Amino acid sequence: MKRTPAGGTARRVVYGVIGLGFFGEKHAETAASLPQVDLRAVCTRRDARRRQIKKRVGARNDYRDYHDLLADSAIEAVSVVTHVDDHAAPTIAALEAGKHVLLEKPMARTVAECDAIIAAAKKANRILMVGHICRFNPRYAAVREAIAAGKLGRIVSMYARRNIPAERSAGILENIGPLLGDGIHDTDLMLWMTGDRIKSVYAQSLSVRGLKHPDLGWGMYRFRSGAIGVIENVWFLPAGTPFRIDNGWSARGVGSIQETIGDRFPGRPGDVSAAA
């Protein structure tokens, strides 16, 4: 038990991580670093990977089958960080086993799978959270607060870009495309910031290298309020691009006030890590 500054006791949440790819590894590392969390177990079908991460993060147990992890009654909550094609089954199984779930985005591949996950959470009366991390960025939260306070007036236009160099994206594009992988961040932000809903969608993508998924994608949303949103995801910035992530976000209202967030995270020689 961990002592709080006030002298009381804070119970540690017993935790498990299902899926140990790039982001699953980050979930395990983060859980292991939190004093409020007891990382009890990790799970992946890859034996060497499982043993490696278990040792490094100090998890007590490791499992090849997520059903075995879920059978541990001491585990209260799990991260599900499998490939997006495989999100629904372990998430629903975890909820049915009485676990709270942090589900990595994208939630699932189809609306039907998303609805089934939500229904399972309601039936089990467990907490389900999808990992839309940008909501916790204070700069995005400030834009939402400005919109809610009416400082921008009625929102009529939103634009977001989230682009990365070609040298970083080839491996990622074997698993997921730019609109689903990164465009989902800004789609969620547009919905969250405005409380609006999307009425119609138009999108285009382009394959340059002939990989499994397109190199770039653009989307345009018409919202129920009449506002228009545009998302840009180019995972093919040219060689020599001096930054790892080219990110920008803006919202425009009838009051001619604009809130803009722009980041260009500097690159490092040989940096080909996975996209944020």
Model confidence over 228-253: pLDDT tens digits? 999 999 999 888 777 788 888 999 99
Domain boundaries, the chain: 2-131, 134-266
Picking from 201, 269, 275, 200, the residue whose alpha carbon sits closest to that of residue 236 is: 275
Integer-rounded Cα Rg, in Å, for the chain is 20
In 125-183, where does DSSP find H-type helix?
Answer: 138-148, 166-169, 178
Q: What is the identity of the amino acid at 42?
A: V
d(CA 128, CA 95): 8
Q: Is 220 helix (H, G, I), strand (E, B) or coil?
A: strand
Tell me if 223 sits within 8 A of 196, measured CB to CB. Answer: yes
| Per-residue pLDDT tens over the stretch 2-32 | 444 455 567 899 999 999 999 999 999 999 9
Average pLDDT taken over every residue of the chain: 90
Tell me if 172 sits within 8 A of 179, measured CB to CB. Answer: no
- In this prediction, residue 239 carries a pLDDT of 80
List the structure tokens of 77.
């909550």
d(CA 270, CA 219): 31
Query: Highest mean pLDDT: which of 139-153, 181-195, 262-276?
Result: 181-195
Inform me whether the pLDDT recorded for 271 exceeds 50.
no
Average pLDDT over residues 47-55: 96
- In this prediction, residue 268 carries a pLDDT of 46
Inform me whether the pLDDT recorded for 198 exceeds 50.
yes
Tell me if 18 sits within 8 A of 78, measured CB to CB. Answer: yes
- In this prediction, residue 43 carries a pLDDT of 98
Inform me whether the pLDDT recorded for 1 exceeds 90.
no
pLDDT band at 133 (very low <50, low <70, confident <90, very high): very high
d(CA 152, CA 146): 7
Inform me whether the pLDDT recorded for 273 exceeds 80.
no
Average pLDDT over residues 53-66: 97
The domain made up of 134-266 is a member of CATH 1.10.1740.10: no
- The CATH code of domain 2-131 reads 3.40.50.720
- In this prediction, residue 276 carries a pLDDT of 29
